[in-house]
Amino acid sequence: MTQLLGLLLVSFFTTSIFMVPFIDLLYLLKKRFEKETFLKRQSETPIHDQLMKEDIQTPSGGGILLILILTLLSLVYAIFSKSVDFVSLGILLFTLVTFGTLGFVDDVRLIFTRRSGKFLGLDKKKMLLTQLILASLVSTMLYFVAGLNNIYIAGLGNFIIGPWYIPIAAFVIVSFANAYNISDGLDGLSAGLLTICLFAFLALSSATLNLTLGSFIGIWIGALFAFLYFNIWPARIFLGDAGTFGFGATLAVVGLLTGKMLALAIIGGMFVVIVASSLVQILSKKFLSKKILPIAPIHMYFKFIGWPESKIVVRFWLAQALFAIFGLWIGLLSSNI
């Protein structure tokens, strides 16, 4: 526990030191390329853009710094620790870096887009295809290298699913990557929800004596604490796609490594609610030719009907805390702890 708390504090202070200069750099780059970037944008969601007009000047890309710090501190921890599970840590870092790099393409587009058309990022189909390929690679490593091939459901028992584990795990990873990306719409929302989820998994990993996973989560929480200071309303920086895709996919892998797939779905309950609201909206437009809600996802709907942004965020945090407690209880119940 002493080591875990030390890692969390080191991560917090390290991120705090670099955060202000990094924000200043992003503001400088945004100001320099602001006119060119604005000319490239064509809105497909006018209501959403109207609700987010106050955030246009806030730079995006904080996840780039957090991924770098989380990766470097995890590697330093691995070098000096004698009890590291290099398989689990390697899979976590591979997920974080690859999905983060995928999102980095879009972050670069938002910062550096020029009239020449460079750095335009990936379209939706290419993005989803790339996510599926990366998630399949991660799932294959979980199956063949980490030896995971089961789903445990409390009250029903343990189900060995063999090779079917790979597509199911890949679906979970892609789902959480996109759910987290969709949740990053209000100041402090996504980072706060993630921090609450990670505390639940920190308790679960500590209860099962998974020191490697617990240490990785501790470093992650420390970085998020420092980021949240600048991300809560009024935000000075947003995560960006590098952070949302990287963190969402890695959160899924954290849950998969615990062997608690059901607990993962419950602990990440608000992400499930958010992505479900967007999915319902998409399906209603496709098959009913009309929108169920004026705007999706659900947190943007509450802002649309007049809820203050801070009230939405805090109430979502509270709901997420209840999901996390329930999911942790399910996870501990299935571990007989």
The pLDDT tens digits of the residues spanning 195-249 come to 999 999 999 998 888 899 999 999 999 999 999 999 998 889 999 999 999 999 9
Cα–Cα dist 167/136, whole Å = 7
Report the pLDDT value the prediction gives residue 105, as an integer from 0 to 100: 85
Delimit the domains of the chain by residue range: 2-334
Task: Determine the Cα–Cα distance for residues 87 and 145; give it in Å rounded to an integer.
Answer: 7
pLDDT at res. 40: 47
| Of 51-60, 86-95, 323-332, minimum mean pLDDT range | 51-60
Q: What is the pLDDT of residue 289?
A: 77
pLDDT at 111: 67
Per-residue pLDDT tens digits for 149-192:
988 776 677 788 999 999 999 999 999 999 999 998 899 999 99
Q: What percent of the chain clears pLDDT 90, i.e. is strictly above it? A: 58
Cα(244)–Cα(131) distance, rounded to whole angstroms? Answer: 13
Residue 120, pLDDT score: 46
- Residue 76 is predicted with a pLDDT of 94
Mean pLDDT of 112-140: 75
Instruction: Check residue 151 and report its DSSP letter.
Output: E
**What is the rounded distance in angstroms from the CA atom of residue 303 to the CA atom of residue 133?**
35
**Which ranges in the chain belong to alpha helices (H)?**
2-40, 46-51, 62-80, 86-112, 124-144, 165-183, 189-207, 211-231, 240-257, 261-267, 269-287, 298-304, 309-334
- State the average pLDDT for the chain: 86
pLDDT over 80 (residue 81): yes
CA distances to 3, 32, 197, 287 from 219, rounded to whole Å, are 11, 33, 14, 45
Cβ neighbours of 197 (radius 10 Å): 29
| Burial group, residue 294, by CB count within 10 angstroms (0-12, 13-18, 19+) | exposed
d(CA 108, CA 233): 24
Counting every residue written for the chain, the total comes to 337
Any idea which of 95-109, 112-126, 171-185, 222-236 has the lowest mean pLDDT? 112-126
60-71 core/surface letters (b: 16 or more CB in 10 A; e: else): bbbbbbbbbbbb
Does the pLDDT value for residue 253 go beyond 70? yes
pLDDT for the residue 292: 83
- Could you tell me which residues come within 8 angstroms of residue 59 by beta carbon, excluding any fewer than 6 positions away? 23, 26, 27, 29, 30, 111, 237, 238
Single-letter residue type at 101: T
**Rounded distance, CA 183 to CA 313, Å?**
11
